[in-house]
Structure 1
Amino acid sequence: MSHIVIAFPKLEVAQNLKKLLSQSGYTVTAAVNSGSAALQAMGGLDHSILICAPRFRDMIYEEINDCLTNGNQMLLVATQEMWEPSGDILCIRTPLQVHELLETIRMMDESLYRLRRKQRNRPKLRSEEDRALIRQAKELLMTRNCMTEDEAHRYIQKRAMDNGTGLIETAQMIVALNNN
């Protein structure tokens, strides 16, 4: 579940929303009354939701959104006249409907969950040394066993899976066996 930061010029509004969301099972990290405090609260959080008003004494919602890191999303609570549609900012209109707010937050939370999973499952970037080692192992297989590059790569992958080792370790074994 994503962390939530609530920012409204009137701190009592932010506190009331915090209470409502906490009772609904959400983790509210902070309830603040300025844009800079909202950014400070969001600073250490990844894949979180900022629920905020359109204007604060120190900044407006667009400035806050520009400062948010990737993976953090904004939910603007405003009248229709107070905001301009934007692709990366969701807006919920006032007067606030509780079920609409909770449904929107649930949707945003699910979206952030999918983003976290997608990033976690993304293949890790290999160092230049690791890529060179894999390339060397493939070249050895291509030369000694008359394989294409794809066949050599699949061979290394299959050996790694069969032996329960990583691709790099398997490539090291192929290179080491060839040097003996």
Structure 2
Amino acid sequence: MGSIIIALPRPADVEKIREILIRHGFRNVYTAGSVSAVLQETERLSHGIVISGIRLLDADYTELLDCLPEYFELLLLDSRQKVSARRQSGLVAVMMPVRVNELISTVRMMIEHVNCRANQKKKSKPRRTEKEENYIRNAKYVLMERNHMTEEEAFRYIQKSSMDTGTNMAETAQMILALIYNEI
């Protein structure tokens, strides 16, 4: 399950929100008083949300949002009337004072979203090895030299051949290289 980091300038607010979250079943709840402390926490956690106010001890929420890792989102508690104007990727804003039910449902929604994104990353295809990348790079180079293709055309040729034969791109590149070098 995703983690929650509470980063507010007033310790009393942090503790109040922490208690509410724990009371409603959230287990991985951490606290931080500054952007730098939040970033230290995110380095050791895989994914989650940060609950923050407009201003922290060392920066404001925009700097925090810019620095957050890919699998973290920001829940901004905004006491101003400008909540609807704060539309950015990775940011959800609610107006203070927030009702407990609204806070809990928003946190649940955001945690579910970051959990899904993190799980999709785990299910994604593994990256190619350096050896496989070299096969593809060499096959592109040979196609560019022998068939006067651009790099994009060569890549698309390998990609299409891979789909047509039902093999991955590295295997297709190996076949192309084997065919070309057997001709010589």
TM-score, with length taken from structure 1: 0.69
Match status 1:69 vs 2:69: yes
| Percent sequence identity over aligned pairs | 24
Residues 21-60 of structure 1 aligned to structure 2 (within 5 Å): 21-60=21-60
SS at match of 2:77: strand
**Cα distance, 1:27 vs structure 2:** 2.5
**Cα distance, 1:62 vs structure 2:** 0.6
Q: Is the 8 A contact 2:79 2:96 kept in 1?
A: yes
Residues 1-180 of structure 1 aligned to structure 2 (within 5 Å): 1-81=1-81, 84-88=85-89, 89-130=91-132, 132=135, 149=161, 153-154=165-166
- In the alignment, what sits opposite 2:153? none
Do the aligned partners of residues 127 and 41 (structure 1) sit closer, same or farther apart at CA in structure 2, a change above 3 Å counting?
closer
**Cα distance, 1:47 vs structure 2:** 1.7
Q: Which amino acid aligns with 2:107?
A: I
In 1: Cα distance, 2:129 partner to 2:32 partner? 43
Q: Is the 8 A contact 1:2 1:27 kept in 2?
A: no
Q: Which runs of 5+ in 2 are unaligned?
A: 140-159, 179-184
The two structures, once aligned, show a CA RMSD in angstroms of 2.8
**Cα distance, 1:81 vs structure 2:** 3.4
Name segments (4+ residues, structure 1) moved above 4 Å.
148-152
Q: Is the 8 A contact 2:22 2:29 kept in 1?
A: no
Q: Which amino acid aligns with 1:91?
A: A
In 2: Cα distance, 1:101 partner to 1:151 partner? 47
**Cα distance, 1:95 vs structure 2:** 1.1
Q: Which amino acid aligns with 1:22?
A: I
**Cα distance, 1:16 vs structure 2:** 1.3
Alignment length (residue pairs): 148
CA deviation string 1:80-124 (max 9, x = no partner): 436541222101111111111111111111111211121112111
TM-score, with length taken from structure 2: 0.68
**Cα distance, 1:128 vs structure 2:** 4.4
